[in-house]
Amino acid sequence: MSTGSGWAYETDVVVVGSGAGALTAAVRARDLGCEVLVIEKTPQYGGTSAMSGGVLWLPDSPLIPAAGASDSAEEGKRYLHEVVAEPALAARIDAFVDNIPAFIDYIHRATHLRFAVLPQFPDMYPDHPAAKMHRCHEALPFHGRVLPDAELLALRPQHPQTALFGRIGWTPSESLILQARGPGWKQVAFSMVARYLLDLPWRLRSLRDRRLVLGGALVGALRRSMLDRSMPLWLQTPFESFIQDDSGTVTGVVARRDGVSARIRARKGVILASGGFERSAEMRAQYLGQPTDPRWSAGSPGNTGEVIRAAAGLGARLEFMDEGWWGPTVLMPGEPQARMLIIEKNLPGSIIVNRAGRRFVNESSSYTKVIRGIFAANRPGEESIPAYMIFDATYRGRFPIGPMLPSNFQPDWAVPAAVKEAIPSAPDVRSLALKLGVDPEGLAKTVTDFNAYARSGSDPDFQRGDANYDRYYGYPHEHPNPCLGPLEKAPFYGVKIYPGELGTKGGVAVDARARALREDGSVIEGLYAIGNCSSPVTGSTYPASGSTLAPAMVFGFVAGGDVASR
């Protein structure tokens, strides 16, 4: 660091935000010879990345052949070009796929982070000719003991829904086995609990699990890589504004540090990686479909969109501001983030209905498709916002829902009263409908019809369970269809479902080098944007699980290299 006239701090690159994309960009730029400063507005680093499932969608990954499968850049590009169907994004799509091998090679060679293929994890458009079952990757577990204690405790915790009992971290494979009661689930649960309890003496100090998995493994491993390079990360340092020279080049930022506005010079450039605007009621009301509410989001509490607004003030073009990484969410008392229903909605013995008590969507389809269905079905008299997930005692006995463990482990009498209020029960379907404000006769007829479908194994209304994606999250012991089971055992339960998201999706328009663009398509020199504060390379679609994190990190790798070359 050096300081000069008018600057509180000088460096080569300032990265705004501290998620996986941000830290990838920071480490990459540092390895190419830059001084780098990362600033984060909240007291914890990691953002939505650290809370996430940590899955990356990486077509043509060099790890795929070792997993016994095959892929190619051409197939990955074909899938994306045709699913996304946005010609203006073609160059960025190609850049994303083309940079994946170099990105993975760099991460494995230069950082503590390691990826592994998730076998048989389908793309979200599984019937497309170029779809695959092995493009999703997970971060391998990373033990927090290699981080200083203060750094581990400052890492934003996993979302409660991504951990056993809300505390014990699980990998994607462990999560699927436990939530769907797959083969060996008891042994998996026992080993996880035993490992957690036996982590002494740490267990006497903190309830925090030191085995970092999912998004925590991504961010924790990258933060350790930063520490190896003595790279600064300033917490509680919110961005305030940009600094430009007379030519319009971005030369730094103003950020609030220790309660004082500080001018920070960035000799080479500023990389925005600050997340979306899902926590801003004002921006949601301006850009997203109605109704909308920040409480419905599963995103990080720090994502309030002020950086996107500031970039627009520089003349940056904004794109896809009406989009989100949509998914059905439920609200639980005392929890600051909503919970997204990812596996739960696929499992047999449950349905999703509107206020008229009618189904309106394939519950087991991708979470984005479920939300599209919720928006499309929302009309007076048949409102689907909120919608209602209905399930019976068989489902309740087998599977967790929200913070409730299966009734075999947590009977109704042991469920906190506030959770019971959020997930009420009743001795019959009509009584439950009255509690929820749903039409009783409509719900009763829907359940009767659906039960017949479940017994036959075929859903003629919405084809639930027909696609590979549906069945991936199904219950393997349910026959003939792992996603269809009758609702016939009392009591019956229901919970309100909202059109939530993992984060908003729109932001600063960028080129294939992650450089910010003006309305006329010209580059704003010195300014880059990646992740959820940038325009999504996937457009309005959700091609696969991990298509949020993967572009953020790959374009973080690209931006870190490009800014270093300036």
Cα gap 366→121, rounded to integer Å: 13
101-146 pLDDT, tens digit per residue, is 999 999 999 999 999 999 888 898 988 999 999 999 999 999 999 9
271-323 pLDDT, tens digit per residue, is 999 999 999 999 999 999 889 999 999 988 999 999 999 999 999 999 999 99
Q: How many CA atoms lie within 13 A of 497 on its CB side?
A: 29
Cα gap 82→68, rounded to integer Å: 26
Cα gap 59→31, rounded to integer Å: 25
Cα gap 505→377, rounded to integer Å: 22
Q: Residues of the chain with pLDDT > 70: what percent?
A: 99
Whether pTM > 0.75 for this model: the answer is yes
341-387 pLDDT, tens digit per residue, is 988 999 999 999 999 999 999 999 988 899 999 999 999 989 999 99
Residue 5: pLDDT band (50, 70, 90) is low
Cα gap 105→88, rounded to integer Å: 29
pLDDT of residue 2: 41
Structure tokens at 415: 């469920």
Cα gap 220→145, rounded to integer Å: 10
Q: How many CA atoms lie within 13 A of 308 on its CB side?
A: 29
Residue 91: pLDDT band (50, 70, 90) is very high
Reported residue count of the chain is 566
Phi/psi region, residue 31 (left: phi>0; alpha: psi -120 to 50; beta: rest), is alpha
Determine the distance from the C-alpha atom of residue 74 to the mean position of all C-alpha atoms in its chain, rounded to a whole number: 26
Among residues 5, 52, 10, the alpha carbon closest in space to that of 155 is found at 52
CATH no., domain 328-501: 3.90.700.10
Cα gap 216→46, rounded to integer Å: 8
Strand-pair category, 250-257 with 425-426: unpaired
| Contact in structure between 249 and 526 (CB atoms under 8 Å) | yes
DSSP helix/strand/coil, 284: helix
Each domain of the chain, given as residue ranges in start order, spans 328-501
DSSP helix/strand/coil, 210: coil
Q: What angle do CA 329, 335, 341 make, to 5 degrees?
A: 20
pLDDT of residue 176: 75
Where is pLDDT greater, at 152 or 408? Answer: 152
Structure tokens at 377: 């079905």
pLDDT of residue 477: 87
Q: What angle do CA 328, 331, 336 make, to 5 degrees?
A: 115
Among residues 5, 308, 298, the alpha carbon closest in space to that of 159 is found at 298
Exposed/middle/buried for residue 558 (C-beta within 10 Å: 0-12, 13-18, 19+): buried
Cα gap 139→219, rounded to integer Å: 10
Cα gap 64→56, rounded to integer Å: 13
| Contact in structure between 38 and 18 (CB atoms under 8 Å) | yes
Across 174-178, 240-244, 359-363, 528-532, least confident range: 174-178
Cα gap 32→564, rounded to integer Å: 6
311-344 pLDDT, tens digit per residue, is 999 999 999 999 999 999 999 998 888 999 988 9
Determine the distance from the C-alpha atom of residue 172 to the mean position of all C-alpha atoms in its chain, rounded to a whole number: 13
Mean pLDDT of the region 477-492: 94
